[in-house]
Structure 1
Amino acid sequence: MNIFLKKTSTFLFFLLLMLCHRTGYSFPDVISDTILDNQLQTILFYQSGKINSYPFIDINKPDMSLTLAFDDMSGGYKSFEYQIVYCNFDWTVSELFPDQYLTGPDYGYIENYNFSINTYIRYTNYYVSFPSRGTWFKLTGNYALMVYPAGKKDQPVIIRRFYVVSSSAKVTAEVLRASQARFKAGKQEIDFEVDYQGLDVANPLLDFKVSITQNKRQDNVITHLQPMFVRNNVLIYDYDEENLFDGLSEWRFIDLRPQKFPGQGVHKIVLDSFFRYYLLTDEDRSYLDYAEWSDINGERIIAGETRTLRMNEIDYVKVFFRLSTPYPKDEEIYLFGALSDWKIDPRFKLHYVPEKQLYMTDIFLKQGYYNYYYVIKDPASGKADCFRFQGSHYETENDYLILVYMRSRFYNNWEIVGYSVVNSRIF
C-alpha cells in the first residue's frame, strides 16, 4: 500500500509540474513568425549590433544576444513580457521543460520604450535584448520568442523564430548554376558537405537533418534532403534537382528616407496631416533579361532623413504602390518581403482599378529603404508565387542559410551542430 501511494504521489507531482508548465499557454500547431496584433508594426529581430542579420546565437559565445524592436501604433505605454520556447525540427513546440534547455528563467520583461518625438504619426517604440543576465542555453536547436501583454501568456502578439547553433560540424557550401539543362536559365543549386569528425554518430544517414533557407523566407525552406553518400565522416549533399531554388530577380526598391524631395522610386511627396509618398508606376519584369543592381535581399533599413535620428524620431508615411497591367489577373496580387513579414498578408493586397489599368494599394510604412516583390497568391498552397512579376535568373544575388541538425540521444531532440551562410554572387 505504501509503495502504491508513493508511486501515485510521484505521478501526481510530475503531472502537476506539466500542468504548471503548460497552463495558460496557447501555442500554434507550427511556430512561424507571426504578428497577432495589427497595432504592432515594424518588427525588427536580429543579432544585436547587426541589423538584418539572421537571428541565431552561437551557444559557445555567451556575449551574443538578439534584439527585438517594434512600434505600437496605439501609442501610450503597455507592459510586455516575453517567453523563450524550445521547438522541434518541424517547428512544433517541444515537450521539454524550460530547465532542460535553459539556465535561468525562460521569461523576461520588455522594459525599454520611447514615445515618438517630432513625428506626424504617433507611436511608442519598444525594444529588448535577450537572453537576460543569468539566462543562457543548454541546448542548440530551434527556438521561438513569444511576446505577450503582461500577465496574458495565452494571448501572444508577436512570435519570432530563432536558432541556437554550434560549429561542432564543419559545413562547406557553394551556390552554383543548376546542373540540369532545363533548369540552367533560372535556378540556383546549393551543394554542400558536412564534416562531422569528432561527433558521436551511430547512423549518419538517420542521425542528421538539414534545412536550407533562401534569404529569410519561411515558405520555401528545403528540409527533406538526405546525404547522397558518406565519405570519411563527411556527408555529401550534391543533388541536381532536390536542392534547387528559383534565383528570381533582384528586388525592387524604394527610398522613403527623404522628406524634402522624392527619393529613388518615389514620384512625389505630399504633406497634409501626414506624409504621403506616391511611387513611380512599376511594370511586369517577368519577360525582361537579367539586370544587376545592389539590393538587400527583400529586407528593409529603417532610417530617417538624417542619420542622427533615433528610432522613435522616424516618421510613418502613407505609401501608394502602383503596378501597371492592361487587364486584371485571375489571381490575387500582394506586396511581399520583410515589409509584409515575409508572408501573404491581407493588408498588402493590391486591388485592380480598371479605368487606370493599375493594381493599387496604399499602406503606412516607417521611413527607410525597402525592398519588395509583387507576388501572386498560390490558390492551392496559399504561398507566394514570386516568379510571375519578376521572372527568374540564375545570376541573381541571394543569401542561403544552411543548418545541420543532429539527433540527441539524451532527449531525442534535434540540435544544430553546424551552419553556414553562403551567397550566390559567384557568377
Structure 2
Amino acid sequence: MPKFLYTSLVLLFIFTSAKAQEIQNEIDPPYNIKTVSFVQNGSPVVPIFELGDTFSFQFDDLFGNEANYYFEITHCDYNWKPTDIPKTDYIMGFDNQRITDYSNSFNTLQIYSHYRLSFPNQFTTQLRISGNYILKILNEDKEVIFSRKFILYENHSTVAAQVKRSRNVLNIDYKQNLDFSILSNDIVFQTPLQNVKVLLLQNGNFNTAIKNVPPQYTIGNQLIYKYDKETQFWGGNEFLYFENKDIRTAATNVAKVGANGDIYNSYLFTNQARANQIYTTNQDVNGYFVVKNINASNNEIEADYAWVYFSLSAPTFRSSTKDIYIGGMFNNYSLSPEYKMDYNSEKGLFEKAVMIKQGFTSFQYFIADKKGVIDFENAIDGNFYQTENEYTILVYYKESTDRYQRVIGKGNANSINIIN
C-alpha cells in the first residue's frame, strides 16, 4: 500500500473514532420549533422511563408546512459519549426514518404542524437495553435540527433516599443534601467503587445534575452515600407560574390580554426578585408545564400560541458579564438568546416576550455568564432550605464483562419532608 494512502486511512480512522466519542450535548431547536416534550399518559414528563414503557416525543413546527423530519437514536455511556455497540443490539427495527405521524393545527391563530414520535413505533419496535440515549431530529438534508436526552432504566436495585439540611453552618439555610443507599435486588456488585455510578437530578434538570460520586462505604451488597457536600444542591425557590388556558382571558398571574398582532398577547404581572425576602410557601409543580385549551377537545392541535410578556424587577442585580434567563421544562431550561431578558432602563425592569403554547406554565429566572455557567449562589429568587424540590437518583452499573453501562435502578425523594 502506498505510504500516503496508508497515512490517509489512519488519519480518517482517528478522526472518525474521535468524532464518535464526542460528548453528546443537547442541541437547542431553531425558533420555529416549539413545545418539545416527552409525553407519557397524556402529560409532558421528565424523560426517564422504565425499559419497555411506552411514551412519545412531540413538537410543533410553527411554519406549518408539513415539513419532513427524520429521527435518529444513539445509545451513550454514563458520560453521554456514544457506545461502540452495534445499533442492532439496542434497537429492534430501524431509525433514520421519516416521522409520519403529524397533523396541522385546527382553529388557531398561529398555524403549526404537530409531530408525534411514539415508542415503540412502526419502525422502532423496541429499545432493547437500558442506558442513556440521545434522540436527534433531522431535516430532509439529514442535518441535525435539535436533540434531546432520555434515559431507560431496569428495576434491579432499591434506592432509599432522604433529603436533609446541609451540615455546614455557612450554607445550612440555603442548601439541601441527599442521603441515600442502594441495595441490589438480584445483582452481586463487583468492585462497586469503580463499577457503580450515580446521577442525581433536581426537578428533572439535566443541566444541574451531580455525577461521579462513589459510594462512601458498603455494607454487604448495600452501598451507602452520606456525604456532607458532594451530594448537595442549592435549594432555590419555588417556581413561578402563569395560566392562560382561556387565551382571551386574564387568568392566574396574567395582568392583561391583548390582541394587537396576529396572535394573542399575555402580559404577566411584574415579578419581584425574592432573594432578599423571607421564604413563602407557594404550591408549584417543579418546572412542569401542561398544554391546555379549555375550549378544545384535542389540545395537541387546538391549543394556540401567545406572546407571553415577562417582566422582572431586580434592582440589586448589576452585572456586565452575566445575564438573566427565563427557564423551565417548557424550554428545557435553555440558555439560548431567545430566553435572555433585556433591561429596559426607562422602566427599570428586565423584560422579554416569549412565544409559548397556552396552558399552565411554570418557570424560574436564572443568572448565567457568557459561557452558560449558572450562578446558583446569587440566584435572583434566592436559596432556601425549605423549598420543595423533587429529586431523582439513577444507578448505573457495568461489570468487567459488560459492553455498556446499564441503568439498574431509580429512586425518588422530595424535600417537603426535609430533616435536620
TM-score by length of 1: 0.87
* Residue of 278, 283, 291 corresponding to 2:280: 291
Compared with structure 1, are the counterparts of its residues 39 and 408 closer, same or farther at alpha carbon in structure 2 (3 Å cutoff)? farther
Alpha-carbon offset, residue 183 of structure 1: 2.5
* Residue of 381, 384, 387 corresponding to 1:396: 387
Question: Given the alignment of the two structures, is residue 193 of structure 1 paired with residue 185 of structure 2, yes or no?
Answer: no
* Gap runs ≥5 in structure 1: 1-14
Question: Given the alignment of the two structures, is residue 370 of structure 1 paired with residue 361 of structure 2, yes or no?
Answer: yes
Compared with structure 1, are the counterparts of its residues 327 and 192 closer, same or farther at alpha carbon in structure 2 (3 Å cutoff)? closer
Alpha-carbon offset, residue 388 of structure 1: 2.2
Question: Given the alignment of the two structures, is residue 424 of structure 1 paired with residue 415 of structure 2, yes or no?
Answer: yes
Residues 63-91 of structure 1 show CA distances to partners (whole Å, capped at 9, x for unaligned) of x2221111101111112221221001100
Question: Given the alignment of the two structures, is residue 33 of structure 1 paired with residue 26 of structure 2, yes or no?
Answer: yes
> Which residue of structure 2 aligns with residue 51 of structure 1?
43
Q: How does 1:282-361 map to 2 (within 5 A)?
A: 282-306=271-295, 308-326=297-315, 329-330=318-319, 331-361=322-352
Preserved CA contact (<8 Å) 2:366 2:374: no
SS in 2 for 1:94: coil
Residues 272-317 of structure 1 show CA distances to partners (whole Å, capped at 9, x for unaligned) of 3321111111111001111112111112111113363431111111
Residues 249-270 of structure 1 show CA distances to partners (whole Å, capped at 9, x for unaligned) of 1001111222342111111101
Kindly tell me the number of residue pairs found equivalent between the two proteins: 401
Structure 1 CA distance, aligned partners of 2:384 and 2:397? 34
- The percentage of counterpart residues that share the same residue type is 26
> Which residue of structure 2 aligns with residue 204 of structure 1?
192
Residues 103-160 of structure 1 show CA distances to partners (whole Å, capped at 9, x for unaligned) of 332444321111111111111111121132563233211111111124x43x112311
SS in 2 for 1:206: helix
Q: Please tell me the residue identity of whatever aligns with 1:137.
A: L
Compared with structure 1, are the counterparts of its residues 322 and 386 closer, same or farther at alpha carbon in structure 2 (3 Å cutoff)? farther
Structure 2 CA distance, aligned partners of 1:246 and 1:119? 41
> Which residue of structure 2 aligns with residue 270 of structure 1?
258
Alpha-carbon offset, residue 210 of structure 1: 0.6
Question: Given the alignment of the two structures, is residue 145 of structure 1 paired with residue 135 of structure 2, yes or no?
Answer: yes
Residues 343-381 of structure 1 show CA distances to partners (whole Å, capped at 9, x for unaligned) of 211101111111111111112111111111111113565
Structure 1 CA distance, aligned partners of 2:206 and 2:138? 22
Alpha-carbon offset, residue 182 of structure 1: 2.4
Alpha-carbon offset, residue 197 of structure 1: 5.0
Structure 2 CA distance, aligned partners of 1:309 and 1:303? 9
Preserved CA contact (<8 Å) 2:36 2:330: no
* Gap runs ≥5 in structure 2: 1-8
> Which residue of structure 2 aligns with residue 10 of structure 1?
none
Runs of 4 or more off by more than 4 Å in structure 1? Answer: none
TM-score by length of 2: 0.89
Preserved CA contact (<8 Å) 1:344 1:383: no
Preserved CA contact (<8 Å) 1:36 1:156: no
Preserved CA contact (<8 Å) 1:65 1:131: yes
Structure 1 CA distance, aligned partners of 2:214 and 2:301? 47
